[in-house]
Amino acid sequence: MARTSVACSSDCRCPSATTRPSAGSCASSATTTATSRARRFQEAEGALRGILVATPAHIEALQLLAAVVGAQGRHEESLECLDRARALRAPGPAALHNRARALFSLGRRAEARAELENVLKLKPDMDSSWTLLGSVLGALGDIAAAEAAYRRALALRPENADALYNLGILLQQAQRLDEAIACYRNALKLNPAFAGAHNNLASALKVAIALLERALRLKPASAAILGNLGIAYYEVHRYADAEACARRALELVPDFQDARNTLGNALAGQGRNEEAIACYRQVIAEAPRNADAYSNLGLILQEKGDDEAAIASYRKALELRPAHPDAIINMGYLLAEQGGRREAMEFYRRALAADPAATLAAYNLAMAHLCEFEFAEGWKLHEARFHTRPPIARERAFAIPRFTAADWGKGLRLAIWGEQGIGDQILYSTMLPEVEQRGQDFTFETDARLIPAFRRAHPAWKVISPEESAGAFATCQRHISVATMAGLLRPNRATFERQPRALLAADPDRVRGFRGRLARPGARVVGMSWRSFQPSVRGYLQRKKSAPLASFMALSQRDDLRLVDLQYGDTAEERSQFAASGGRLERLEGLDLFNDIDGVLAAVEACDLVVTTSNVTAHFAGSLGKRTLLVYLRANQPFHYWTPDENGRSLWYPSIEIVTARDFGSWDKAFGRIDEILRA
């Protein structure tokens, strides 16, 4: 789940129209216009007011003064000047345009729209008015009409950088990123010093840092750019740099609450949770209606395990902003964690109704559908994994079309590419035997460490590593992600009857060697794994998926069991404490449990059964058809594929038995049940 942050500047540029002076006032008005164009507002204002002291009914001076004070943000005064001029003479298109700009800046959008329509009746080719009309229409929620207005402005004057920039914002908000990027790039060709375009192009390209740093060099005292640069650093886990940017932004604008939110996020990313909480609480104290701060506070309280306080914080965020997508998503996630999946699904739907581009809500809703065995709905929404920020899976671009159901039996060679981690690659590749049975020619890409086991089990398959894929895929005519294949082959519960009992084959020589080392008369060999290693900012997920090694203590002291360590990662300290407390755990010395996956598969195959929490060891065991007891707490599955069927087994791996219950609130209780199963 993503903390609330705003990475894109959504403020449009509202173009002004310069009033043409009359011949009688040419010299003084021309000088004043040149001064205002040079941004010397005070001098320009003084000169114009001098003209008006001498000639109170000087229409051009009133109109120019309106433009000068409007450029300084004094829109009420601007409107007053324009209305005084209007009482003296019917305004022309430029004056009407500037009046519409003042109205829009004051939030009087409907009036601004009506005024611009009058302008364009008088002068249909006035591109600045079409640009401003696009901004007004966008603010009124008429997105299609806003886009049409910006495009009309560009048809009249292609070098209109403001229209390009504003159209880019509109397209970016609609998730039409390629078009938005083109708009920002074209605006920058016209105006290389356009800091706002650099800022938003950075966001659209998702390579924000270099572009935002360039924008900051152009405008080093910009708190807004510092704020967005802080967000960009946070999103690539440069938390110290994010903290520094947020602090600089707050030095410039002490009440910049978005920057303080970012500061809290950066502190949380560094594990400084109490400082982060203090940060969010300061935002709430200074801006008690800041829904983002409540949402962010809820997330960090949830990470700490204080679910009730987290729910209260989310509820407050939603009280302030009922359509707050992040609070809705986070609240839904927490409800799902507590067993209220159907209620959570309604929260995800609310988030999508509030923001159709809320891809994390779509992804979470997909997971909920899949957990409920509602596969058709789930797989459709599952494609959102490519579009979350950051993306859960990286989408690949191909010059060939994506494979669809209409392509079965056409004799097209198919490129099936891997995504996410090794566990996901194994899980979804369990459908490949069916692809083969359908007579579909394919090349499958997977982690190089898995290739020997695939080739032993399926010598006719063409299995390649990512490094080989460019050449191997060159002859293919269609492509598909291995996970997306599920939408074609597993659309309902009945189709899981076709899951293979086993997928991979271990090295038989290494299996024999390990069995010889582990065999002990009267004892079953039990492979075990207990942890999932996650980044520090995903500590909540790590706690959910991981059990303490001490949970295996009772099993380790049984004479009829011999526990074998299959846990990858640095566990030396935990194992030492386990041994000091009387725990017995065998280690296969010389086996690299992270890099030597072929060896790990042989070790799993050498065991009589496996006991594990949710981690890659479960996928290894399931892919070999090894009997496995997979345990988690409170019937709260970490992933959709560990939802038990009516027989208590995984649909994806028939050999995996799920050990869980709603009243399993502690690991001791869950492992007590495993002890009972192994005594039966």
- Please give the pLDDT value at position 79: 82
Q: Max CA-CA distance within the chain?
A: 113
Residue 278 clears pLDDT 80, i.e. is over it = yes
Residue 338 clears pLDDT 50, i.e. is over it = yes
Partnered with residue 527 across adjacent β-strands are 564, 610
Q: 194-198, 306-310, 475-479, 526-530: lowest mean pLDDT where?
A: 194-198
- Please give the pLDDT value at position 207: 53
Among 44-58, 301-315, 381-395, 444-458, the range of highest mean pLDDT:
444-458
- The fraction of the chain above a pLDDT of 90, given in percent, is 56
- Please give the pLDDT value at position 668: 93
Q: How many helices (H) and strands (E) does the chain have?
A: 34, 9
pTM of the model: 0.65
Instruction: Report the C-alpha gap between 549 and 571 in whole angstroms.
Output: 9
- The fraction of the chain above a pLDDT of 70, given in percent, is 91
Residue 5 clears pLDDT 60, i.e. is over it = no
Q: 358-367, 434-443, 444-453: lowest mean pLDDT where?
A: 358-367
- Please give the pLDDT value at position 36: 36
Q: Report residue 29's pLDDT band, with 50, 70 and 90 as the boundaries.
A: very low
* pLDDT digits 0-9 by tens, 632-659: 998 888 899 999 999 999 999 999 999 9
- Please give the pLDDT value at position 206: 61
For 351, half-sphere exposure in the C-beta direction (CA atoms, 13 angstrom radius) is: 24
The helix or strand, by DSSP H or E, that contains position 459, with its residue range, turns out to be: none
**Burial status of residue 471 (CB atoms within 10 A of its CB: 0-12, 13-18, 19 or more):** exposed
Sheet with 524-529: strands ordered across: 561-565, 524-529, 609-612, 628-631, 656-659
Instruction: Report the C-alpha gap between 386 and 282 in whole angstroms.
Output: 35
* pLDDT digits 0-9 by tens, 298-330: 988 988 888 889 999 999 998 898 878 788 878
Q: Which one is predicted more confidently, 607 or 84?
A: 607
The count of other CB atoms within 10 Å of the CB of residue 553 is 16
DSSP of 395-407: ----SSPBP-GGG
3-state secondary structure of 594: coil
Q: Report residue 35's pLDDT band, with 50, 70 and 90 as the boundaries.
A: very low
- Please give the pLDDT value at position 218: 92
Which pair of tokens denotes residue 450?
């898995």
Residue 9 clears pLDDT 60, i.e. is over it = no
Instruction: Report the C-alpha gap between 101 and 73 in whole angstroms.
Output: 11
Distances in Å between the Cα of 444 and the Cα atoms of 36, 423, 461, 468, 643 are: 65, 15, 8, 11, 27
- Please give the pLDDT value at position 4: 29
* pLDDT digits 0-9 by tens, 449-499: 999 999 999 999 999 999 999 899 999 999 999 999 999 999 999 999 999
Instruction: Report the C-alpha gap between 558 and 564 in whole angstroms.
Output: 13
- Please give the pLDDT value at position 40: 65
Q: Report residue 389's pLDDT band, with 50, 70 and 90 as the boundaries.
A: low
Instruction: Report the C-alpha gap between 235 and 242 in whole angstroms.
Output: 9
Query: Of the candidates 318, 273, 294, 280, which has an alpha carbon nearest to the alpha carbon of residue 540?
Result: 273
Mean pLDDT of 420-431: 96
Instruction: Report the C-alpha gap between 239 and 270 in whole angstroms.
Output: 6
Mean pLDDT of 546-553: 92
R_g over Cα of the chain = 32
Mean pLDDT of 525-552: 72
Mean pLDDT of 364-387: 93
DSSP of 276-307: HHHHHHHHHHH-TT-HHHHHHHHHHHHHHT-H
Instruction: Report the C-alpha gap between 335 and 61 in whole angstroms.
Output: 63
* C-alpha of 267 from chain center: 20
Q: Report residue 91's pLDDT band, with 50, 70 and 90 as the boundaries.
A: confident
Question: Residues near 662 by Cβ (< 8 Å), separated by ≥ 6?
Answer: 339, 634, 635
* pLDDT digits 0-9 by tens, 577-631: 999 999 999 999 999 999 999 999 999 999 999 999 999 999 999 999 999 999 9
Q: Report residue 542's pLDDT band, with 50, 70 and 90 as the boundaries.
A: very low
* pLDDT digits 0-9 by tens, 60-75: 887 788 787 777 778 7
Q: 16-20, 327-331, 507-511: lowest mean pLDDT where?
A: 16-20
* pLDDT digits 0-9 by tens, 143-153: 888 999 999 99
For 142, half-sphere exposure in the C-beta direction (CA atoms, 13 angstrom radius) is: 14
Q: Report residue 22's pLDDT band, with 50, 70 and 90 as the boundaries.
A: very low
